[in-house]
Structures are given as C-alpha cells and as structure tokens.
Chains A and B, each alone.
Chain A
Amino acid sequence: MPRLTLTINNRSVSARRGESILSAARRSGSDIPTLCNLGGLIPAGACRVCLVEVAGYPRPVPACATRAEQGMVVTTDTERLTAARRMIVELLLAERNHSCAVCVMNQHCQLQDLAARLGIDHVRFAFISPLAGVDISHERFGIDHNRCILCRRCVRVCDEIEGAHTWDVDGRGAASRIICDLAQPWGTSATCTGCGKCVQACPTGALFEKDAPTKKATIDMERLSEWRRSRK
C-alpha cells in the first residue's frame, strides 16, 4: 500500500493514500471533535465540526471528507477553528428544539456532550423554534424532527449497511427534513426492514426506540460495514 507523509500539529504523520485527514490525525493522537462522522460509513462532511486548517488553503476544510496528501501541513486546534466549531454547534442548537431536560437521550447525547466540550454554556443566536413534527407511526421506533441535526447518519447506515435506503433528505438548508421513502409515515414504509440501525447510528434523541430505554451505539458499525463489503 503506497504511503505518504504529512504534518499534523507540528508532528510528522504517515498515512495511507486515500486516507482522510481525520483518520490520520486520530492515529497520531490529535483528537478532532466530530458529529456526523461514524466509523464504517462514507463521510458526508455534513456537520463541519471537524474543520481543520491546511497551509495554503483559503478556508478550513472538513477533516473527515478531505484526503491526506503528501507534504500537507495541517493544524487542528487554532483559535479560529475553536470559534468556528463553537458557532457551528450553537447554530445547530438554535435551528431545532433541543430541550435536553425532556429528551430520551439526556446525558447520553453526542450533541449535548460536544456542546459542553466546546465550552458552550449558552447560545448567542435567537432560537428558530420550528414546529418540526414527530412520527411515531412505526411499531417499534419513532423519529422526532425537533432533535434532528441533519447529520445523515441514519440515511447512510440504511443505504450503505442495511441496503434498504428507506431514509433520505427532502428540501434544502435549514428547511431540510429526513423523510421516509416518498415522504410518508414510517409505519407505512415498504422498504424499512425494522433493523434499528438508524436508531443506533443517530447521535441525538431524534431516532428512538418506543417503550424502552434507547441504548445507542451498541452495534459496531465498522465491523458491520466490513461484513457487508465481504458479501458483495
């Protein structure tokens, strides 16, 4: 396998050709915060929390969706990046209705954890407070759009690992919504296999299990994805 060398936070790091900056940085001990990234899924660059600076680039790039290149000089923790990450998460919090106190994932939510890690003790922007809606038509699961951050982990896991592609995105920008099949109630879906991988992949309380404590990330997506590739 061809290898290349780049610099991350003043340290020389070796990477495989085609490997992302995020993966190379993590191996070298630089901890870049992420939200939409999930091992085993194709990176989407949806949340922009993993932004890094690359010398010579005019603006920060998402580490999950940018390939490491020979001689690249990457910085992952500048003041500008900290400010950008903080603003991104504050905007996510202002965009929908994230009331941690009444959420099934309180204390187990990756958005909540990330906000605290970034030092967000309040949101500087006015809350949009949209009437986003809840779909509990499925027998075992529900989706609460008020808590969705449009990371598309559910869309990707359903397509790439389960192979059902029940979920997709409708609309653009902040008006986007995760939809089921042809924008129909989840309970009427002809493609959903009821596997629950989307619930497992969701970083917030947007996708949840009914009548049961929702335990997330108990499925190893990376190993599932290897298993799936081996069967193709």
Chain B
Amino acid sequence: MTRPRLATVWLSGCSGCHMSLLNLHGDLLGVLEQCDLVYSPLADIKEYPHGVDIVLVEGAVANEDNREMAGIIRRRSACVVSLGDCAVNGNVSALRNPSGLAATLGRVYGEAPPGHDVAQLLPRAVPLHQVIGVDAFLPGCPPAPERIRRLLTCLLQGQPAGLPPEMISFG
C-alpha cells in the first residue's frame, strides 16, 4: 500500500498555524512516518504536485495569487482541510473587510500603493470554503498542536475528522 501524500499550504495568514504544526515536536515524526510530505513552505518544493491526498491550508484568500493557488489545490488534491481561523472564517486577515480595499491600502501605503509587481489584493479577504470546496475544518488561532495531531491521525487512517466540541472552538 502506498503512503498518503500530505501537503501544507500558506495563503494569507501569519504562519502561526504552521508553527503550531511544528510544535507537535516529537509527535511530528510519528505523523510523518505515516505519510509523504510532498509540498510545504517548510520544504523546498517549487510546484504544487498532482495526486495529493490530504492538504492543510493555512490563511484566508486575500489576493489574486491566493485565489489561483486555491484553484490548483482543489484540482490536485483529494481532501482539502482549512487549517486555522483565517482559512476557516477570515479572522485577522479579514479585519480589513469592514473598511474596504481603498481605505486599507491608503492607511498602509499612503498615496502610493504598490503596483503590479506584487499580488493584487481582492476586494475582501474571504474564507477558503467561499472560493473552493473544503472537506474538513480545523478552527483555532492557531489550532493547538493536539488538534492538528488528532485531525491528521483520523484523516491518515481514512476516517472522517470527528473532533469533540472543545477541539473546534474559534480563537
């Protein structure tokens, strides 16, 4: 039997969810023994591969690059997981939404917002599931390492991610 192919992606978030994944410490080795890590900001792999079984996506969809990446993730992955509050409901990345795009850029850059050499912001930062279909959700800011371990253990064994109420709280 081939081992499941795991990927992790960092969209518009602070990388705290990936830090939380690393905070599994020794348990991380146990998780990685059960799968192959085929794409991650923690690994030097340039292109998102085909045939990914499970992908953990951190961060909201806040710019054009995020939106394009979300489409690639969905086409090439079997099980997409929203990892953390930004991917699940926008959270800190979406704090700009009430003010609007122009006011946000003005506040940050003054009269000279960046041109086309950087990713263009979308009008609103939105949760991942408003852009592509998402199969499982893991809230938390960041989700505690134990939550990530429980979820990955379930998914790697091909079971649905049934977490108890105390493990799905926001914040």
Taken residue by residue from 83 to 98, chain A's Cβ proximity to chain B (1 for < 8 Å, 0 otherwise) reads as 0000000000100011
A132: Cβ under 8 A from any B Cβ: yes
**Beta-carbon contacts under 8 Å, B117-151 to A:** 124, 126-127, 129-130, 134, 137-139, 141
* A102-B92, A131-B99 known; A116+B129 contact, CB < 8 A: no
What is the minimal beta-carbon distance from B14 to any residue of chain A, in angstroms?
A: 10
- A129 in contact with B124 given A116-B165, A119-B168 (CB within 8 Å): yes
Which residues of chain B are within 8 angstroms of A121 by Cβ–Cβ distance?
A: 88, 137-139, 163, 168
Q: How many residues in A have their beta carbons less than 8 Å from beta carbons of B? A: 28
B169 at the interface (CB under 8 A from A): yes
Q: Inside 8 A of B171's CB, which chain A residues have their CB?
A: 100-101, 103, 106-107, 109, 112
Q: Which residue of A lies closest to B85 (CB)?
A: A101
Q: Secondary structure at chain A's binding surface: helix, strand, loop or mixed?
A: loop
In the complex the two chains form, what is the Cα distance from A129 to B97 in whole Å? 6
Residues B129 and A99 in contact, CB atoms below 8 Å apart: no
A232 within 8 Å of B by Cβ? no
8 Å CB contact of B85 from A100, A107, A109: A100
Q: Which residues of A contact B139 (CB under 8 A)?
A: 121-122
Q: Which residues of A contact B169 (CB under 8 A)?
A: 100, 112-113, 115-116
Choose from A112, A116, A127 the contact partner of B94 (Cβ within 8 Å).
A127
Contacts of A101 in B (CB 8 A): 85, 91-92, 141, 170-171
Q: Are A116 and B92 in contact (CB under 8 A)?
A: no
* B124 adjacent to A112 (CB under 8 Å): no
Measured CB to CB, the residues of A under 8 A from B are 93, 97-103, 106-107, 109, 112-113, 115-117, 119-123, 126-127, 129-132, 146
